[in-house]
Amino acid sequence: MDKQEKIVSMFNDIAGRYDIANRILSMGIDKSWRNKACNKALSLYNKERIEKIVDVACGTGDMIDFWKTIANKNGIELKNIVGVDPSVGMMDVAKQKFPEVEFIEAGAAQMPLDSNSADIISISYGIRNVVQRQEAFDEFARVLKKDGLVVISEFTKQEKTNILDHLTDFYMNKVLPTIGGIISKNKEAYRYLPDSIDEFLTSDNLCKELRQAGLEPIHVKSFSMKISTLIIARKI
């Protein structure tokens, strides 16, 4: 089993308890991060009608719910939203919540979607789980329409410069794996989260990779003591 298969298998294993673990571990603040991402992206895209949003690594469908709700609140007609994920277990949960949404079993680097067909592609807390990241960015550029947006929310690696940074590090490395392991009954999965962040890129390097794919970052902002970072890039 290669690294990507192991990651998919891990998410299949924790799918049933993923939502409740997420809410408890983030103390609900991930809802604020997702809300900010959707509102900012829709503001930057600035269209009253959106043909298609593709949510990659859609998991149990959290971001799909935000896209639909926030588009509606802003009076934006969202014609179609598609969820893409290689984890069948996670998507089975999403399908129960959103039976009207189309879900596709696929990885980020190889999506069975038409070229120049999506207005927005989002990936929330999933890009660090994509082994072929540069290939995924190339694929996003292929699927996006010209001037379409990639919306990335992620836990990115940050320099530890003050006491709050070290407190955050303690929570991510000590508290989160223990509580997450108890809730999900899979401590290894929640040990993977801080490890994957520590091995991950900085925001600057992520922006360089996006540019290599023809996706120009137009908005970069960190939230909640730099725990979560939002990057929005436009296809040029």
Q: How close are the terminal C-alpha atoms of the chain, in Å?
A: 37
147 is in an annotated binding site: no
* Beta pairing, strands 118-124 & 49-56: parallel
153 is in an annotated binding site: no
DSSP 202: P
DSSP 201: P
Radius of gyration from C-alpha coordinates of the chain: 17
Please calculate the CA angle 195-199-205 and round it to the nearest 5 degrees: 145
DSSP H helices, 98-212, are: 133-143, 163-170, 176-184, 187-198, 203-212
Please state, in angstroms and rounded to a whole number, the distance separating the CA atoms of residues 109 and 93.
23
CB 72 within 8 A of CB 38: no
198 is in an annotated binding site: no
Binding residue numbers:
60, 85, 124
Binding residue numbers for S-adenosyl-L-methionine:
60, 85, 124
